[in-house]
Structure formats: structure tokens, C-alpha cells
């Protein structure tokens, strides 16, 4: 089989959850993505909302079976030697659609070929094939070492719990409920000093409310530092639950910066500046607080953007007063205040 060698690697990735306009929820999923020639393979598949089979929330036995399957240590799950590369982030039903590929061994090499979109047991390569992707030939040693790291414990899992610290208990309770709904654990406290180090290691982020003073914040940072736990710290922009969820989602994103789709967001009263690294669907939402501290939500933009920096006009009414914007793709989210 003729195919040039490609490099194979793995990198942490996530399907960003969130509280969407209208009260809908999108589930958060952490997974391990495939990196081909230094770039996430998922980015080559247009704007696909999907996760790899190597998701952190599947039972360990199933996760191990998925890894060994990709190593061709078991029979292919689909006819024609085909394997699921990316599937539905909400369920495991093939009927929702999945990206599949034939995986085979050629000597010591592993080859991924004939990528296709598949909704039942049989793939129609002519109708649903990804004709511009692959075949990819991977050196056996590199391929086995990358996947083997998931089996020997050298690849670390993600921490999906968040510690919430603030004075407004009602807001924290709503925020914790929203986070739990999308699959992120959340605990509320006003003092982390007495929390055992083993419990602190379960947190990936700490979110501070705006009323938390600098001394209290410093004390929390010292507590985590003494426990040797590296977490992301979030300074809440405003007591607006969907906005805070977006900030926490961004803080939990541990994927390499060079492998993210959404890399920049800023806004003033006239427009938002959004930067993406590959073509993808972007949703831009504006949140504002009125004089009575009631929150208002406005959908600003929902469409596909090409790679580069884009200026999206903002409706003056949508960002009147104290306002914020959230940009979201399937795999990442950013939040920013509207500068005046």
C-alpha cells in the first residue's frame, strides 16, 4: 500500500459543555484526540461535533478495550475492518452518525484509510467518504507507544470538578446545579484550608465570586500550593450562570494552545473580534446586566467562520451597560467583557 508516513500522537481535548440560549444544555465531554502530523484530526473533518472513543468518562474496562481495539488486538467492531474514530458526544448510537475508518497493519506499520461518515453497519465510501483525508501510514513503534501510554498510566486523566467560592450562595447553588447538569462536578465552600489534600487533587479549577477579597483568594491559592495541586483560577465576570459556566469550561480546557480552534475573543461597544484557527461553526452570545442587576441574553451570531480573525458587529442594545460576550465552538469556549 502506497502512503507517505504521517506522525501519530495523542492530546487532551474536550467537547465544551454549556448553558445555551433558551435554557438548553450541552454536555461536557473530556476525551483524547488523535494528532496527525501535529494537528488534531478532528479539525480536518469540517465542523464536526464529536468525540473520540477514548473519552475519560467511559468505564476503565471499556476504555482499555477501545485502546486495544485501535492496536488491532481484537476484531474490528464494524464490517470491512472498520473502526469508529469519532462518534456522537451525547450517546454511543451509530445511528446518530460517526466517522469511521479502516485500520490495518502493513508490516510493522499501521494504516488508517477510507474515512467515511457512517450511520449503520455498512459504509458507502462513494456517497459518504471523506475523499480528501488519508490514507495515513504510521510507524508502528510511534503508534504503539502513544496508545500504550493510555494503558500504562503515563497519560493523565482530566479533573472535572470545580470548587466554587463566593458570598452569593443562591448564585453559587444555581451555578453548581448547571455544572452538574452538563457533567462537571461542583462543590461550594467559603474556606478551603481544612479540605484534605487528596480531595483538593480532584479539582481542576477554582472559581471566585466578585465579592471574594484578595486576602481570601490568596489563602485559597496557598492551600492548593501546599497540597502540590495545580489548578486553574477563575475570576467570575458577573453573577450570570451561563457566563460563569463558559468561564469555567475555558479554565478546564487543558488542550495545547496550538491545537485549539478558538484562540481569541475581545469586544467593545461596536463589535467583537473572534479568532479561529480552522473553519468551524461559531456561536456568539451577549449577556448584560441592567440597572436592577437582571440579566439579559442576546444571540449575536451563529455561522461558519473561516480560519483567521473576524469582526462581528454587536447590536448596541445587546451590550448596553455592563455587558459580556461568549464565543463557542464545539470544542472550546471563550468569554470576555465588553470594553468601553
Share of the chain above pLDDT 70, in %: 97
| Three-state secondary structure string covering 289-332 | ECCCCCEEEEEEEEEEECCEEEEEECCCCCCCCEEEEEEECCCC
What distance in Å separates the CA atoms of residue 56 and residue 53, rounded to the nearest whole number? 9
Measure the CA angle with vertex 49, ends 45 and 51; round to 5°: 90
Share of the chain above pLDDT 90, in %: 66
Measure the CA angle with vertex 290, ends 289 and 294; round to 5°: 70
Compare 21 and 224 and report the one with higher pLDDT.
224
| pLDDT of 2 strictly over 70 | no
Query: pLDDT tens for residues 55-112?
Result: 988 888 899 999 999 999 999 999 999 999 999 998 878 889 999 999 999 999 999 9
**pLDDT band at residue 160 under the 50/70/90 scheme:** confident
Q: What is the pLDDT of residue 293?
A: 86
Q: How many CB atoms lie within 10 A of CB 131?
A: 10
Closest by Cα among 128, 159, 127, 148 to 252: 159
| pLDDT of 157 strictly over 60 | no
Kindly state the average pLDDT of the residues 118-134: 90
What distance in Å separates the CA atoms of residue 238 and residue 22, rounded to the nearest whole number? 19
Query: pLDDT tens for residues 217-275?
Result: 999 999 999 989 899 999 999 999 999 999 999 999 988 888 899 999 999 989 999 99
**pLDDT band at residue 153 under the 50/70/90 scheme:** low
**pLDDT band at residue 286 under the 50/70/90 scheme:** very high
Closest by Cα among 31, 35, 53 to 43: 35
- How far apart, in Å, are the Cα atoms of 316 and each of 193, 235, 328? 44, 26, 21
Q: At what angle do helices 169-181 and 241-252 cross, to 10 degrees?
A: 60
Residue 78, C-beta contacts closer than 8 angstroms, at least 6 positions apart: 84, 100, 118, 121, 123
Query: pLDDT tens for residues 28-49?
Result: 999 999 999 999 999 888 778 8
| pLDDT of 134 strictly over 80 | yes
Q: What is the pLDDT of residue 255?
A: 85
Q: What is the pLDDT of residue 4?
A: 85
Q: Which helix (H) or strand (E) holds 39?
A: strand 39-40
Q: What is the pLDDT of residue 3?
A: 67
| pLDDT of 22 strictly over 80 | no
Q: Which helix (H) or strand (E) holds 128?
A: helix 125-128
Which pTM does this prediction carry?
A: 0.86
Q: What is the pLDDT of residue 44?
A: 87
Residue 86, C-beta contacts closer than 8 angstroms, at least 6 positions apart: 42, 45, 48, 50, 51, 52, 98, 99
Amino acid at each position: 500500500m502506497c502512503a507517505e508516513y504521517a506522525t501519530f500522537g495523542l492530546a487532551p481535548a474536550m467537547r465544551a459543555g454549556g448553558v445555551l440560549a433558551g435554557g438548553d444544555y450541552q454536555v461536557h465531554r473530556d476525551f483524547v484526540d488523535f494528532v496527525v502530523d501535529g494537528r488534531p484530526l478532528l479539525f480536518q473533518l469540517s465542523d464536526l461535533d464529536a468525540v473520540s472513543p477514548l473519552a475519560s468518562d467511559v468505564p476503565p474496562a471499556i476504555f482499555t478495550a477501545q485502546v486495544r481495539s485501535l492496536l488491532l488486538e481484537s476484531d474490528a467492531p464494524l464490517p470491512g475492518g472498520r473502526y469508529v474514530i469519532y462518534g456522537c458526544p451525547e450517546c454511543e448510537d451509530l445511528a446518530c452518525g460517526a466517522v469511521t475508518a479502516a485500520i490495518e497493519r502493513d508490516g510493522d506499520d499501521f494504516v488508517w484509510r477510507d474515512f467515511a461518515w457512517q450511520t449503520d453497519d455498512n459504509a458507502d465510501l462513494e456517497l459518504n467518504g471523506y475523499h480528501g483525508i488519508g490514507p495515513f501510514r504510521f510507524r508502528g513503534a510511534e503508534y504503539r507507544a502513544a496508545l500504550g501510554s493510555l494503558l500504562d498510566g503515563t497519560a493523565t486523566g482530566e479533573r472535572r470538578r470545580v470548587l466554587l467560592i463566593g458570598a452569593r450562595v443562591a448564585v453559587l447553588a444555581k451555578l453548581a446545579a448547571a455544572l452538574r447538569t452538563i457533567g462537571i462536578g461542583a462543590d461550594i465552600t467559603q474556606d478551603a484550608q481544612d479540605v484534605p489534600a487528596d480531595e483538593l487533587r480532584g479539582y481542576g479549577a477554582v472559581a471566585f465570586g466578585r465579592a471574594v477579597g484578595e486576602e481570601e483568594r490568596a489563602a485559597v491559592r496557598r492551600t492548593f500550593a501546599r497540597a502540590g495541586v495545580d489548578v486553574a483560577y477563575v475570576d467570575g465576570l458577573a453573577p450570570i450562570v451561563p457566563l460563569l459556566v463558559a468561564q469555567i469550561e475555558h479554565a478546564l480546557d487543558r488542550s495545547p494552545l496550538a491545537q485549539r480552534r478558538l484562540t481569541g475573543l475581545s469586544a467593545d461597544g461596536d463589535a467583537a473580534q473572534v479568532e479561529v484557527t480552522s473553519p468551524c461553526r461559531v456561536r456568539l452570545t451577549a449577556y448584560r446586566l441592567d440597572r436592577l442587576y437582571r440579566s439579559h441574553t442576546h444571540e449575536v451570531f451563529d455561522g461558519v467562520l473561516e480560519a483567521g480573525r473576524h469582526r462581528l458587529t454587536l447590536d448596541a442594545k445587546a451590550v448596553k451597560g455592563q455587558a459580556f460576550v461568549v464565543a463557542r465552538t464545539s470544542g472550546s469556549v471563550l468569554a470576555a467583557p465588553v470594553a468601553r
